[in-house]
A and B are shown apart, each in its own frame.
Chain A
Amino acid sequence: MAESEKKAPALHVAGLKKTYQKKGSPVTEALKGVDLTIESGEFFALLGPNGAGKTSLIGILAGLVAKSAGTVEVNGISIDTDPDTAKSFIGLVPQEFNFSIFEKVEDIVMDQAGYYGISRAEARPVCDQLLKDLGLWEKRQAKAQSLSGGMKRRLLIARALIHKPSILLLDEPTAGVDVELRRGMWEFLQKLSGSGVTIILTTHYLEEAEQLAKRVAIITKGQIIEQGTVKELLSKLNYVTLILDTKEPVKDAALHLLEDMGVKRIDEMTLEFNLSPGQTVNDAIRRFASTGIDIMNVRNAGSRLEEIFMNVIEKHK
């Protein structure tokens, strides 16, 4: 394919800034020059602590927040020169429930289709399919106020997909959703990603980003401080924290012999230690066995991405 024919990235953000000022308060810089390129069809996760600038960034991309400086292109279309076309590519699942709870479920989805210029006849089969796929079919005639929290989240997704967007922005879509439902939502998003939709996800659940996303960016204090594929980021982690369950209570003397490995006791039959690069689990288990400690079970202390996240955020505090 010739260079000129190369498909534009789904999203290209350069030097994006956003400042807020409330009366009598100093200026707050929510975004301090963000540069980001997301290719078409990618599943991308944006991670960051509260107040990092994630929602401001999503708001600008969706047309809800006016940027202060910088450029944003959606599928090669600038949001400054042709905002309406740029918006037509995007579906937004916001963090908060922003539909009228007094309206019926299917009316919320069908009306959104109308706002995107899709006739009711054209929207009807898409709406029905989405409500079925997202487990809302039985509730289609119910008022939104009667839905559970999880159902309301799924309604936001159905509404965002009614115009078949090529880019889906999800701002913490699984916040407050139970584990079973979250897994179901993951499956749905993976299927959607498989169909070629570019997905941009902000989340607090790092396990979620690790499971779903191919590429990740970490944002804090309005700046992207780390980005790459999940594999690239994980390779930067110079240790893995493991939890070991022992067969019998561990004696202090045995633990003393393992001092150089930095082993910590969690309780009398549970130990924690960091596996360094180059060190294998086999090596470690052999050392434990040599001191008379029999290992019953080995597991990761937590999400590896979470460890990277914590390291990076700590560095930029």
Chain B
Amino acid sequence: MHSPALIGYYTMVRKDVFRIFRIWTQTLLPPVITNVLYFTIFGTFIGSQLQEINGHSYMQFIVPGLVMMTIITSAYMNTVSTFYFAKFIKNIEELLVSPMPSWVIVAGFVTGGVVRSFLVGTLVILTSLFFTHIVVANVLIIFAAAFLTSFLFSLAGLVNGFFANSFDAISIIPTFVLTPLTYLGGVFYSIEALPPFFKTLSLLNPILYMVNAFRYGFLGFSDVPIDVCFYVLGGLTVLFFGITLALFIKGTGFKN
């Protein structure tokens, strides 16, 4: 006999996973197409003219960064859109009237984001095999970095969903914050190649640590120490979980 909280959590996740597969042309396909373009243009056309980085081709260098970029975007967009849509059509009330504890509801939304980002990440890795040979240095680090990052950005998307009061408001953060930070987070280059000032500035970008942790799992090297990457990731995840839970309990943005 499972606990009521576990049944509630399972119901939320099941419903979201079915939704992800039902509308796969919106949830799974677009990131794959985008990454095929990245692999073709940056990896094949431009990358073939660039030097190797730490003994790896440019294509091999950018694959982990591009997969991480996809994980971040998918996790964020899943929770922000799911929560905002539920708020918009008011079926969030189905959850709010139920006796499910707040942390279970938050966990249910976040798991949906983690599942979608893992599905999309896996598809992008499989697609990259058509363009390059993938090396794996440490599977555990790959999984840990992917899990913590998707968890963190699912929480961040959920917070955005609480505050969003229009469909425009769910795309502001991804467009104006996430995309620039990701592009400047070492997806396409090593910060070792940057002048000292920009290198120091890059260290303030949290996405740099996520990209580098993930890349370390594949290629076995990172621009920043791997333990620092996980301290940053772990710390931010705990912090965001606390913030998200507090906002949910208070009902900020969705409970009058």
Given contacts A63-B96, A98-B94, contact A111 B89 (CB under 8 A): no
B51 contacts the other chain (CB 8 A): no
- Chain B: residues with Cβ within 8 Å of the partner, total of 27
Which parts of B88-103 form the interface with A (CB within 8 Å)? Answer: 89-91, 93-101
Which of A90, A92, A100, A159 has the most chain B CB atoms inside 10 A of its CB?
A: A100
Q: Mark A79-102, 1 if CB is under 8 A from B, else 0.
A: 000011101101010101011110
Which of A64, A94, A107 has the most chain B CB atoms inside 10 A of its CB?
A: A64
* Cβ-neighbour of B4 out of A20, A59, A107, A116 (below 8 A): A116
B5 contacts the other chain (CB 8 A): yes
Given contacts A114-B7, A119-B2, contact A98 B93 (CB under 8 A): yes
Contacts of A159 in B (CB 8 A): 94
B256 contacts the other chain (CB 8 A): yes
B15 contacts the other chain (CB 8 A): yes
Contacts of B199 in A (CB 8 A): none
- Chain A: residues with Cβ within 8 Å of the partner, total of 30
CA–CA, A189 and B206, complex, Å: 57
Contact between chains at A115 and B90 (CB < 8 Å): no
Among residues of B, the one whose C-beta sits closest to the C-beta of A117 is B4
A118 contacts the other chain (CB 8 A): yes
CA–CA, A59 and B8, complex, Å: 22
Contact between chains at B91 and A99 (CB < 8 Å): yes
Contact between chains at A63 and B97 (CB < 8 Å): yes
Given contacts A64-B97, A94-B93, contact A114 B256 (CB under 8 A): no
CA–CA, A112 and B15, complex, Å: 11
Among residues of B, the one whose C-beta sits closest to the C-beta of A169 is B97
In whole Å, how far is A16's beta carbon from the nearest beta carbon of chain B? 14
Contact between chains at B97 and A117 (CB < 8 Å): no
* Cβ-neighbour of A117 out of B7, B94, B96, B250 (below 8 A): B7
Among residues of A, the one whose C-beta sits closest to the C-beta of B254 is A64
Given contacts A66-B255, A98-B94, contact A84 B7 (CB under 8 A): no
Q: Mark B73-110, 1 if CB is under 8 A from A, else 0.
A: 00000000000000001110111111111000000000
A65 contacts the other chain (CB 8 A): yes
In whole Å, how far is A173's beta carbon from the nearest beta carbon of chain B? 15
* Cβ-neighbour of B94 out of A88, A90, A96, A115 (below 8 A): A115
Contact between chains at B91 and A85 (CB < 8 Å): no
In whole Å, how far is B255's beta carbon from the nearest beta carbon of chain A? 5
In whole Å, how far is B253's beta carbon from the nearest beta carbon of chain A? 12
Contact between chains at B97 and A100 (CB < 8 Å): no
CA–CA, A88 and B4, complex, Å: 11
Contact between chains at B255 and A65 (CB < 8 Å): yes
B30 contacts the other chain (CB 8 A): no
Contacts of B4 in A (CB 8 A): 116-118
Contact between chains at B93 and A114 (CB < 8 Å): no
Among residues of B, the one whose C-beta sits closest to the C-beta of A56 is B256
Contact between chains at A119 and B255 (CB < 8 Å): no
Contacts of A85 in B (CB 8 A): 99
Which parts of A143-159 form the interface with B (CB within 8 Å)? Answer: 159
Contacts of A20 in B (CB 8 A): 256
Given contacts A59-B256, A85-B99, A111-B11, contact A98 B90 (CB under 8 A): yes
In whole Å, how far is B67's beta carbon from the nearest beta carbon of chain A? 31
CA–CA, A92 and B96, complex, Å: 11
* Cβ-neighbour of A114 out of B8, B97, B250 (below 8 A): B8
Contact between chains at A96 and B101 (CB < 8 Å): no
B251 contacts the other chain (CB 8 A): yes
Q: Mark B1-29, 1 if CB is under 8 A from A, else 0.
A: 01111011011101100000000000000
Given contacts A66-B256, A87-B99, A88-B99, contact A96 B8 (CB under 8 A): no
Among residues of A, the one whose C-beta sits closest to the C-beta of B10 is A114
Having A59-B256, A98-B89, one finds 9 other A-B pairs with CB under 8 Å, namely A94-B90, A94-B93, A99-B91, A114-B11, A114-B12, A115-B8, A115-B11, A117-B7, A118-B7
A-side interface residues toward B, CB under 8 Å?
20, 59, 62-66, 83-85, 87-88, 90, 92, 94, 96, 98-101, 107, 111-112, 114-119, 159
Complex A-B, nearest 6 residue pairs according to Cβ-Cβ distance, in ascending order: A117-B4, A114-B11, A115-B98, A98-B90, A84-B99, A88-B99
A–B pairs, 20, beta carbons within 8 Å: A62-B97, A63-B96, A64-B93, A65-B255, A66-B251, A84-B100, A98-B89, A100-B89, A101-B89, A111-B15, A111-B94, A114-B8, A114-B12, A114-B14, A115-B11, A115-B12, A115-B94, A115-B95, A117-B8, A119-B7
